[in-house]
Amino acid sequence: MNQTEKDLLEQVTIDAPWALVESFATFKREHPDDVNRGMDEVVDTLRGHGVEVQVHEPELYLSLPGQARVEADGTTFRAKPPAYAVNTPNGLSGPLVYIPGTTNMDEEDAFESQLEASAEMEAKVRGKIVLTEGFASPAIISLMDTCGAIGVIAINPGVDIHWGICTTIWGTPGTDDLPNKPTIPAAAVNFESGQALRAIAEAGGEATIFTEMEEGWFTSKLPEITIPGTEEPEKYVLLHGHLDSWDVGVGDNATGDASMLEIARVLWANKDKLRRTVKIVWWPGHSTGRYAGSTWYSDTFALDLDANCVAQVNCDSPGCRWATEFLNVSVMSENHDYLAQVIKDVCGKELHSERPHRAGDYSFNNIGLSGYLMLSSAMTDAHREELGYYAVGGCGMNIAWHTENDTLEIADKDILLRDIKVYLLAVFRNANAAVLPQDWRATALEFQDTLATYQSEAGDAFDLSDAKAASDSLLSKLNAFYDGVADGSVSEARANIVIQDLARILVPLNFNRSDRFRHDPALTIPPLPALDQASKIAATPADLQGFGRTQLVRGQNHVIAGMRSAETLIERVAGV
């Protein structure tokens, strides 16, 4: 860490961010009016520090959950409806069927449905209300909706019920997305209620779901600050996080909002030390619009992001109690070593990263922005097991996540101060690097691992050797490129053009099914998704394998063409 960086981190204080956390702990930020109130407080605080703020006011399409309950066998069960569930204030009744779902809530895939659509599943659920374990996630709701269920009740794993959102549509729907809106009511219940309902289902009983929902267009404030760089002001790092929450949402995401507030204050005071610009944005519509705020920004400023954004950094759930380590941190491969060094320099901790999920305000994969961080620090697995906690999607793995218990006690001053410094140094270094820190050799190595896995799974059913050869060639070209950067034969200016533009090719190749500038659904996207049929083809019935091979031929063409485009870019710009 150089002296400028040390001096910068010494300027971080906990006073202003903690004051925001304490304030946000006093009011809910679910309804857009309350979210706008929170945005006003952020803006007023920033302006009090002399920071210039632009406030956008997009119209976002949101779904606001109200009350819910389930009635069965003369008993009323407490429930919560997920955003985008269908409004059924007068109740919807039907036979109740239990379908075993996700029971291992210690795993990171607890948010994904392990069930699949089939004629057998349709026969079981059509015309019925499905009761199943897990969260009321888009995967399970869309599956049961497709199979003809008339409603879904999700059994949460503990005493509390978690809020969520059940649409697969990413952001405000476009016309083409509207047919994919959920058409059935859904509700979540706690474990005890779930077991009682299971007994009713297994006895052939019925249930009635009541949900109260408000859905429509809402004017939503979206503050953006631009801290201009001195040498390349058109290029920028984008730091972002959501301000809306479930209930008062201290750990998710008042602590993140406070972190960005303090980073904005410190960077604004030191803007003369920035090579590139830093933009910081607070999102509305994260919880009730499936990332509607970040998607609006991604759509509205897509061409500028495409031309000038060098990296996106997501700030969600930092600074929570017991979150001593950096575990399961979302990092694209090209950023791992860079972020690992930042964390080591700030606090001496080791980074344990994972592939970013299709979640969290990662609304920029379609454009091709390299990204790191989503959730940051977390408690250890051993501590979580000691407490009897299951896996959740934030709050440092505190199970108060997405509940009314996510209150002030979930935040930790010392951990928040540390995490603010991690985010600050990551953004500052990225903005100031003479050569952008993304190392695409790591991504090429990831491609090789992915292809090896797919080939192993496909066996003799499909040959991926052409894609393997293309990945070998790409890695060789990248090695030559970075060697040229190191020995000075490739100038910093040309190197940065290549590194930024490689993101526009390789990120969509690895994270997108749709075309650029369109948003994939909020469902799991595997590595090199054009080739994921390779993981299934060997188990496909013989009479259907020809369709799988056809898809894989097309997918392999897509992947090889992308890798060749990356090589062409390096040759054209860097002369390697």
Region 77-91: what's the mean pLDDT? 98
253 pLDDT more than 90: yes
Under the banding of pLDDT at 50, 70 and 90, the label for residue 101 is confident
CA distance linking residue 464 with residue 458, whole number of Å: 9
117 pLDDT more than 60: yes
214 pLDDT more than 60: yes
CA dihedral 516, 519, 524, 526 (to 10 degrees): 0
pLDDT digits (tens, 9 = 90+) for 388-409: 999 999 999 999 999 999 999 9
109 pLDDT more than 70: no
Under the banding of pLDDT at 50, 70 and 90, the label for residue 471 is very high
Mean confidence (pLDDT) of the chain = 96
Is the preceding omega at residue 253 within 30 degrees of 0, hence cis?
yes
Q: For the chain, what is the radius of gyration of the CA atoms?
A: 24
CA distance linking residue 141 with residue 152, whole number of Å: 7
Q: Report, in this order, helix, strand and coil percent for the chain, each rounded to 5.
A: 45, 20, 35
Under the banding of pLDDT at 50, 70 and 90, the label for residue 112 is low
Under the banding of pLDDT at 50, 70 and 90, the label for residue 155 is very high
312 pLDDT more than 60: yes
285 pLDDT more than 90: yes
Does this model's pTM top 0.95?
Answer: yes
259 pLDDT more than 80: yes
319 pLDDT more than 60: yes
Where are the alpha helices (H) located in 25-68, listed in sequence order? Answer: 32-48
Q: Are 271 and 344 in contact (CB under 8 A)?
A: no
Under the banding of pLDDT at 50, 70 and 90, the label for residue 114 is confident
CA distance linking residue 81 with residue 240, whole number of Å: 28
Q: Angle 280-282-288 (CA atoms, 0-180°, nearest 5)?
A: 150
Where are the alpha helices (H) located in 66-167, listed in sequence order? Answer: 119-125, 138-146
488 pLDDT more than 70: yes
Region 518-544: what's the mean pLDDT? 96
Percentage of the chain modeled with pLDDT above 90: 96
Decide: residue 347, CB within 10 A, 0-12 exposed, 13-18 middle, 19+ buried.
Answer: middle
Place of tokens 């981190």: 9
Strand residue runs (E) in 20-173? 54-56, 59-72, 75-79, 88-98, 129-133, 151-155
Region 78-82: what's the mean pLDDT? 98
Under the banding of pLDDT at 50, 70 and 90, the label for residue 116 is confident
> At a CB cut-off of 8 Å and minimum separation 6, what does 367 contact?
298, 302, 305, 306, 309, 504, 508, 516, 517
φ and ψ at 201, to 5 degrees?
A: -65, -45
CA distance linking residue 406 with residue 120, whole number of Å: 40
Where are the alpha helices (H) located in 433-544, listed in sequence order? Answer: 440-458, 465-487, 492-511
Q: What pLDDT, on a 0 to 100 scale, did the predictor assign at position 110? A: 56
Q: Angle 6-7-10 (CA atoms, 0-180°, nearest 5)?
A: 85
Place of tokens 């016309």: 175
**Would strands 59-72 and 206-219 be described as parallel, antiparallel, or unpaired?**
antiparallel
pLDDT digits (tens, 9 = 90+) for 271-280: 999 999 999 9
Maximum separation of any 2 CA atoms in the chain, in Å: 78
103 pLDDT more than 60: no
Region 461-465: what's the mean pLDDT? 98
514: left (phi over 0), alpha (psi -120 to 50) or beta: beta
94 pLDDT more than 80: yes
